Amino acid sequence: MAAAVARSLNRLALRGLPSLTAAQNFLAAAPSPIAPAGAIVPSFAIPPLPTGHRVVDASPARPARRMLSTPAGEDHEGQNVSHAMEMLSRADAVCFDVDSTVIDEEGIDVLAATLGKGPEVAAWTAKAMDGNIKFEDALAARLDIIRPSRGDISSCLEKHPLRLSPGVDRLVEALQGRGTDVFLVSGGFRLMIEPVAERLGVSVENIYANTILFDEDGGYAGFDATEPTSADQGKPKALRTIKAKYGYETMVMVGDGATDAQAKPPADTFIGFGGVVTRDAVREKACWFVRDFETMISIVKTGQ
C-alpha cells in the first residue's frame, strides 16, 4: 500500500500541491511491503487467436497470466485477451472509471491535497482501490477527513483542473464516432466529473458517480448513500441499471481499481488500465490489461 500512496503523493507533489514533507513523514511511518515468494509458472494454451497472432509464455517471475503478441511484437496481457478485444470491437456501450483511468490522478486526492489533507486521504484511497477495505467505509472516512464545501471543490477545480490521461479523448471520440455510447462510472464525485465529461463530449446523463450533499450555506453535509457507486459492488449495480435502461447487448468496463473488476458481470469483459498506477489485484482479474489506450483506439477504428 505504501508504494501506491507514494505514487499518488508524488503526482500531487509534481503539481505543486501540499505537502511533500507531510508525504515523506507518512511514508516513513508506513510498513514496508513484503514481496511474495516467486514461483515457477508452467506455460499453457489460450483460446484460438486471430490469424497472425502467436502465444507466448507468462513470465515465470509472476503469477500465471495469459499473454498474446501481435505480429509487430507487442505483448498483450490478460486472462482472455482475444475475447476482450472482440468485445471491444463490437461493444455498443463502454463504461470508464474516471480516477486514474480517464484522468491521470485521483480526484479526491487532489481535493484533499488542496485542503492540506493529502497523505491521510491518499492512504485510504490506496486501500480502497486495492480492494483491502469496503469502498463505502473508505469513502466515508475520506470525506470525514476533508469535509469539502461547495466552494472548496470549485476552488480546487479552478486552481488544479483535472488532467485527462493521454489518448483517452481520442478513444472516446473513436467510440462515439462509430455509434458506441460512453459512460463514466465512478466512485468519485459528480461535481468534479462533470467538467471532465464536458471536455470529452459525454452527456452528464451518462455519469454514474457520487453526490456530495451541502447545507444551505454550501457547507459539507454528507453524501448521498443511495447512489450505487457509493458502496462496494456499486459498479455492477450501475452497469445493470444502464444495461436494463438501454438494452445494450455488449458492454465493456475499463478501469484501474478492484471496484472496476467487480463490474464483470454484467460487463461482458473487463479491461484493466495500468497507465497511471498498476494494481496487482486488477492485473490478475483483467481479461486484458493495458498501460495505454493506443491498441484500444486501433481496434475501435478498424474493428480488429
Catalytic residues: 97, 99
Cell of 84: 476482450
Question: To the nearest 10°, the Cα dihedral for 263, 125, 98, 161?
Answer: 170
Hey, which bits of 107-223 come out as E strands? 181-189, 207-210, 212-214, 220-223
Instruction: Say if CB 2 and CB 24 are below 8 A apart.
Output: no
**Vertex 285 angle, CA 96 and 40, to 5°:** 145
- Residue 241's Cβ-count burial label (10 Å; 0-12, 13-18, 19+) is middle
DSSP state for residue 72 in the 8-state scheme: T
Evaluate whether 192 touches 207 at the Cβ level (below 8 Å). no
- Burial of 177 from C-beta contacts in 10 A (0-12 / 13-18 / 19+): exposed
